[in-house]
Amino acid sequence: MTTFYWVRHGPTHQKNFTGWRDVPADLSDTDAIARLERYLPQDAIVISSDLLRARTTADAIQGQRQRLGHDANLREFHFGDWDGLHFSEVSEQHPELSRAYWERPGDVAPPNGESWNQAAARINTTVDHLIKTFPGQNIVAVAHFGAILTQVQRGLGVTAYESLAHKIDPLSVTRVALGDRPVVDPINHAP
């Protein structure tokens, strides 16, 4: 089993869709960062999304762990034309599409963005490469809400909609062990 410790980046305080926009993380809660760093396995390899909020969070929790380069495949969902808009604006501009995006995730995509299935395939490409390259090892992957939920879906074998029922807070850890019998536990753990 290769075990992923998925860490959601630090809070951004954004009130709008935040996908590929490169906004910073608030890493001022140094006690939370220290608890997180201590909680994660010391022998883990660290990788992150290439977006600033994930990179700086990975830097803050890396400690003495081996660091891999940043990977654009671990980015948040690409919200396309919705990125930067408030949920109410999206709902007003695209009422049917925005409902379908959350209620029937899968192939539904925002204008000029990507669907759940497209994002999951992108993220799984990197996850599969990491499993092949580092079999049986611990990997800390600092990423985003959507990216983490695709791996919860993968590990639990549930639908995208069922996966969306899980909360993923900033600086939380979701452990997904992938192998013959995947294990997902805990989800959204705050060390």
Segment 125-145, tens digit of pLDDT:
999 999 999 999 999 999 999
Name the CATH topology of 2-184: Rossmann fold (3.40.50)
Identify the pLDDT of residue 157: 97
Identify the pLDDT of residue 160: 97
Distance, CA of 72 to CA of 122 (rounded, Å) = 9
- In sequence order, the 6+-apart residues with CB closer than 8 A to the CB of 45 are 65, 66, 67, 68, 134, 137, 138, 139, 140
Identify the pLDDT of residue 138: 98
Averaged over 107-112, what is the pLDDT? 98
pLDDT tens, residue by residue, 42-87: 999 999 999 999 999 999 999 999 999 999 999 999 999 999 999 9
* Arithmetic mean of pLDDT over the chain: 97
Nearest to 125 by CA among 74, 170, 160, 89: 74
Identify the pLDDT of residue 167: 98
Confidence of residue 94 (pLDDT cuts 50, 70, 90): very high
Confidence of residue 3 (pLDDT cuts 50, 70, 90): very high
Identify the pLDDT of residue 89: 97
Identify the pLDDT of residue 145: 98
Q: What percent of the chain has pLDDT over 70?
A: 100
Domain ranges of the chain: 2-184
Task: Note every long-range contact of 103-108, with CB atoms under 8 Å and residues 24 or more positions apart, other chains counting.
Answer: 103/161, 104/161, 105/160, 105/161, 105/164, 106/160
pLDDT tens, residue by residue, 17-40: 999 999 999 999 999 999 999 999
Identify the pLDDT of residue 108: 97
pTM of the model: 0.97
Identify the pLDDT of residue 9: 98
